[in-house]
Amino acid sequence: MNELLDLYLTFVRIGCVNFGGGYAMLPLLERELVDKRHWTTMDDLRDYFSIGQCTPGIIALNVSTFIGEKKGGVIGALCATTGFLTGPILIILMIATFLSNFADLPIVQHAFAGIRVCVCVLIVQAVLRLWKKSVVDGFTLLLYLAIFVLNAFSGVLPVKIPAAVLVICAGVIGVLASMLKRKEMAAAENKRKAKESSAAEGPDSGEGADQ
């Protein structure tokens, strides 16, 4: 029960500062879930973000569901998801109640402008973190460039490719590349073992021939 309550309260706090959503939340989730509580690893968190991007709903909300399920099964997923939603729902209700009376005030508009700048900074920081861990060799760089071009210029291409299709294609290419790389590594290892075995048997067979 204490673990479920901890899940709920943790994601209540995270949900209350969910400015920008999505990838803007990555630095906060990393600090709270990876560094502070050790509920997951950075590699797993990146995987959760990737899956959360492909599935319906808000990325950060989907990530909270994954973390909750990992810590407490289905009940944990419900607690984490409910906790994440509690803060934003209350804040949105308050804003919806009072914002129409103050939205035209210069101070409110300036505040929103400052929040937008902060969100941009958080997103850039998240992109840099994901870049360092994801684009690690020439192949991943080429894959990134291909997906970026297809997505960024989809409006001028003869056929517009949905983002979901690009994500699925990138995942399939990654799986195939991983299988090919493992096959090459296995072949290289077998070749190395064959050479070592041949080198070890060479002197013995030479002695037998002399005798």
Identify the pLDDT of residue 59: 80
The per-residue pLDDT for range 28-66, each reduced to its tens digit, is 888 888 888 888 888 888 888 878 777 777 788 888 888
Distance CA 157, CA 98 (A): 45
**Is the pLDDT score of 210 beyond 60?**
no
Please spell the DSSP secondary structure of 128-161, one letter per residue: HHHHHHH--SHHHHHHHHHHHHHHHTTTTSSSPP
Distance CA 82, CA 8 (A): 7
What the block records as the tokens of 165 is 């299709």
What the block records as the tokens of 57 is 């709903």
The per-residue pLDDT for range 166-193, each reduced to its tens digit, is 888 888 898 898 888 888 888 888 888 8
Task: Please name the helix (run of DSSP H) or strand (run of DSSP E) that holds residue 3, with its range, or none.
Answer: helix 2-16
Report the predicted TM-score, pTM, of the whole model to 2 decimal places.
0.60
**Mean pLDDT over all residues of the chain?**
81
**Is the pLDDT score of 96 beyond 60?**
yes
Q: Where are the beta strands (DSSP E) in the chain?
A: none
What the block records as the tokens of 101 is 């009376």
**Is the pLDDT score of 205 beyond 60?**
no
Distance CA 182, CA 71 (A): 32
Distance CA 124, CA 130 (A): 10
Identify the pLDDT of residue 78: 92
Distance CA 151, CA 149 (A): 5
Say if CB 25 and CB 127 are below 8 A apart. no
Distance CA 185, CA 201 (A): 24
Identify the pLDDT of residue 41: 86
Identify the pLDDT of residue 60: 80
